[in-house]
Amino acid sequence: MSTVMAARPVEVAASERSARSAARWAKALGREQDILWTRSRRAEPRAWLRAVVWLVAAGLHKEAGPTTMLIAEDLAARMDYRRGLVIYDLEGTVRRTGKSPATVKRHVKVLRELGALVWLVHGSKQNIAAPGEPYMATATIYGAVIPPVYDEVMGHRLAGSGYEGRVCGVTEAGRERAVAQVTARSEAQHHGQRRTERQRPSGRRAARVRTVRPVDNVVVDNPRSQAREPHSPGCYHRAPAVQVDGGCKDTSRERATCSTDRRPSFKISYNGDGSRRTAGQTQRGIGITQQVRPRVTWTQRASLRELEVALRPFTDAGWDWPTITAELHSWHLTWRPARPAAYIRARLAQQATAEHQTAAAELAEGWDEQAASGPLAASSPDLVRSVLDGLAEGLATYSTRQAELGLDDLSDQSAAANMAAFLNSGTGAPA
């Protein structure tokens, strides 16, 4: 009882602190709802949902209520569990919550004004698909954030500011609040256990009741069943005896020589060159996949195993997880495939087909990449020497031509004009 009395002043102080913080709270309007200008810190879905419950219960926004919590729970269920990123998906939210589009828009606006949501990507209906592809718009992406008023009331000590702020500890007031909450929770649990023990009969009394209670098994001890007779034998179908007309009645020699071992239940994997995939290769692929999946949001619906199989073309080529992550982000997906692993396999198959068609077209045109890149692959001294030889040969040809025309001495002819005319001609003939 003394513990509860000691906790009451702490609760009163916490309520006064909450009232002071709420009085200083102001709506997040304009650019404060953007990730670059927000004063709220980033949060993962569970902590964010607890903060939204407090923000709605504190009455900071007059339009916040149960519908706001319903929309927040739908957003939290679809968030990235590490960074708290979520696609708006207005039509899907309307279908899942049963609310009208106007209601969903209004309460998402309430969450933004509470400082609990910020814009990461502003959606647009402008078509961003390449020519020949179906229509594709830009989706709105929100980030889950916790406003400073919540951290102030809870006594959180922050490192950094804005979206990159982090909880690094608690203040003395926050520690007192946490102790008071744990004490109240422990007292409530203790009172609940005592109430249950009072309602439950003692063990000796219960045993005595069980011994004096008569056993009544109506199904077994039915006196009327004694007058019934057993079932009649009747006529039953009897299978004929097995007749062996000829041949061997024992196990055949071919069947006896077959292996009776059970086939392994696991599936054996093979590499692209036909060799059997080792456990080390699989373990390395799973390790890379464990780093890629949390960083690419749209791949998180796939299991670790099927995603590792889909990424094998990358891992077998020696790519590390930052390179694979950058490659998947370069696909610029603004939607979430229902089967990410199947989508990756289909996308890689399309790329392989396109590369094959390009190679076939180059082969048909007689394009030799090695011959075309030969001059560029030459060493720097050889390339300089080749250029100088070409210049020397050109100057010699020009001098010979000038001597034939009798212009090798000083005259009123312009040597610069003759040189320009020589270089502009394709065969070296004077203009």
Indicate if the pLDDT at residue 227 is higher than 60: no
Q: For 318-333, write each residue's pLDDT tens digit.
A: 889 999 999 898 888 8
Indicate if the pLDDT at residue 428 is higher than 70: no
Q: Contact at 8 Å (CB) between 43 and 84?
A: yes
Q: Tell me what pLDDT residue 353 has.
A: 86
Q: What percent of the chain has pLDDT over 70?
A: 66
Question: What does the mean pLDDT of the chain come to?
Answer: 76
More confident residue, 53 or 17: 53
From the list 46, 48, 76, 35, the residue with the least C-alpha distance to 164 is 35
Q: Which helix (H) or strand (E) holds 5?
A: helix 2-24
Segment 40-44 shows an average pLDDT of 93
Q: Which of 46-60, 245-259, 351-365 has the highest mean pLDDT?
A: 46-60
More confident residue, 420 or 235: 420
Predicted confidence band of residue 270 (pLDDT cuts 50, 70, 90)? confident
Indicate if the pLDDT at residue 255 is higher than 60: no
Calculate ∠ Cα 90-329-292, nearest 5°: 105
Q: Tell me what pLDDT residue 220 has.
A: 46
From the list 175, 166, 153, the residue with the least C-alpha distance to 40 is 166
Alpha helices in 114-202 (DSSP H): 148-154, 172-199
Indicate if the pLDDT at residue 27 is higher than 70: yes
